[in-house]
């Protein structure tokens, strides 16, 4: 509703409400799903398949259809740029009614009856006391921060001279790449011999290379485009790199959901997930505020460095997950050693 107002303050209130809605979207549904999954006694490995399908259908197929629908409302039917938001509100209202009347409620295990401050303290304590949760939060923040920054950079990167590029087609291509990535993730997670902690390191390094590519390409190739022209050969090469990055994004989402279901405690999962999003939002706001202060090559380089750091932290997370196995083996060995004289 605030989108219809020309007042800046009203629009800012709308963005605050939108931020709250986004936090709910990326935390409440996942928390409900994990809690309900185990409440019904389903097998833990089924979550991987559910997460990959959610990314494939939701972040991929539905995103493409939403883009086409928004283009139909705003351009073809000439209803204006606010019409897609109105349509989204109507669809969300329908979804709300379906959820209220068909979904069973769950509140987690121990957060019920706790105040907001108590839940935040419990979440902060879980993050600081468990290295795996802290590493997972840092990895997620680094990747998502780079991903959301990329959203604002890909258009000027592909059209440095204000070329007339097909934004809708490119967006649909990105979403198709993300769908391919989520499909690959489901196949990877289905293999018991391949650990999520292991292949995500490769995903982060490939993502970093793809975001470093604009810097490298601009060093060796000069854009020959002109204002109003079409996508240049340099732009096509960058588009290929960006599609590979979006494929990595498609692999990342179901994989990170799987890791969160393993390491983040159920009783404070929703609060912890929102904790993870705080540094992402701060980072993106700082980037947007200073977007004109840095060359685009610096922005892409910074995102690439963040993804390399995510790969390093992912390696550390893998080592941390192997520690309990080592300690358990050591304790079992100690028990066996104490029992040996009795056996003799």
What pTM does this model have? 0.76
Condensed to tens digits (0 to 9), the pLDDT of residues 48-106 reads 788 878 878 877 788 888 878 887 888 788 898 899 899 999 999 999 999 999 998 87
3-state secondary structure the chain: CHHHCCCHHHHHHHHHHHHHHHHHHCCHHHHHHHHHHHHCCCCCCHHHHHHHHHHHHHHHHHHHHHHHHHHHHHHHCCCCCCHHHHHHHHHHHHHHHHHHHHCCCCCCCCCCCCCHHHHHHHHHHHHHHCHHHHHHHHHHHHHHHHHHHHHHHHHHHHCCCCCCCCHHHHHHHHHHHHHHHHHHHHHHHHCCCCCHHHHHHHHHHHHHHHHHHHHHHHHHCCCCCCCCCCCCHHHHHHHHHHHHHHHHHHHHHHHHHHHHHHHCCHHHHHHHHHHHHHHHHHHHHHHHHCCCCCCHHHHHHHHHHHHHHHHHHHHHHHHHHHHHHHHHHHHHHHHHHHHHHHHC
- Is it the case that residue 114 has pLDDT exceeding 70? no
- Is it the case that residue 275 has pLDDT exceeding 90? no
In the structure, what pLDDT confidence band is assigned to residue 340 with cuts at 50, 70 and 90? very low
Condensed to tens digits (0 to 9), the pLDDT of residues 159-197 reads 888 787 887 788 888 988 988 998 899 889 888 888 898
Please give the residue that has the higher pLDDT: either 108 or 77. 77
- Is it the case that residue 299 has pLDDT exceeding 80? yes
In the structure, what pLDDT confidence band is assigned to residue 224 with cuts at 50, 70 and 90? low
């Amino acid at each position: 509703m605030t989108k219809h107002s020309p007042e800046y303050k009203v629009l800012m209130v709308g963005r605050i409400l939108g931020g709250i809605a986004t936090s709910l979207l990326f935390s409440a549904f996942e928390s409900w799903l994990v809690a309900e999954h185990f409440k019904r006694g389903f097998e833990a490995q089924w979550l991987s398949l559910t997460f990959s399908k959610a990314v494939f259908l939701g972040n991929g197929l539905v995103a493409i259809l939403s883009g086409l629908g928004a283009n139909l409302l705003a351009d073809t039917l000439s209803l204006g740029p606010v019409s897609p938001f109105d349509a989204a509100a109507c669809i969300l209202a329908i979804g709300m009614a379906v959820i209220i009347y068909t979904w069973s409620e769950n509140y987690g295990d121990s957060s019920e009856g706790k105040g907001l401050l108590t839940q935040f303290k419990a979440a902060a304590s879980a993050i600081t006391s468990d290295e795996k949760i802290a590493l997972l939060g840092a990895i997620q923040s680094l990747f998502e921060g780079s991903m959301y920054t990329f959203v604002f950079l890909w258009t000027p990167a592909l059209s440095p001279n204000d070329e007339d590029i097909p934004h809708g087609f490119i967006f649909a291509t990105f979403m198709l790449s993300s769908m391919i990535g989520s499909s690959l993730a489901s196949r990877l997670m289905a293999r018991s011999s391949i650990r999520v902690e292991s292949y995500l390191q490769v995903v982060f390094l490939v993502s970093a290379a793809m975001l470093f590519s604009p810097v490298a390409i601009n060093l060796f190739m000069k854009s020959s485009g002109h204002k109003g022209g079409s996508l240049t050969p340099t732009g096509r090469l960058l588009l290929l790199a960006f599609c590979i990055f979006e494929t990595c994004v498609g692999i990342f989402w179901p994989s990170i959901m799987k890791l969160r279901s393993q390491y983040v405690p159920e009783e404070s999962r929703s609060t912890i997930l929102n904790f993870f999003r705080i540094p992402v939002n701060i980072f993106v706001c700082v980037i947007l505020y200073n977007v004109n202060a840095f060359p685009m090559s610096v922005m892409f380089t910074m995102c690439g460095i963040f993804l390399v750091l995510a790969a390093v932290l992912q390696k550390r997370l893998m080592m941390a997950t192997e520690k309990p196995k080592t300690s358990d083996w050591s304790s079992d060995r100690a028990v066996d050693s104490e029992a040996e004289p009795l056996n003799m």
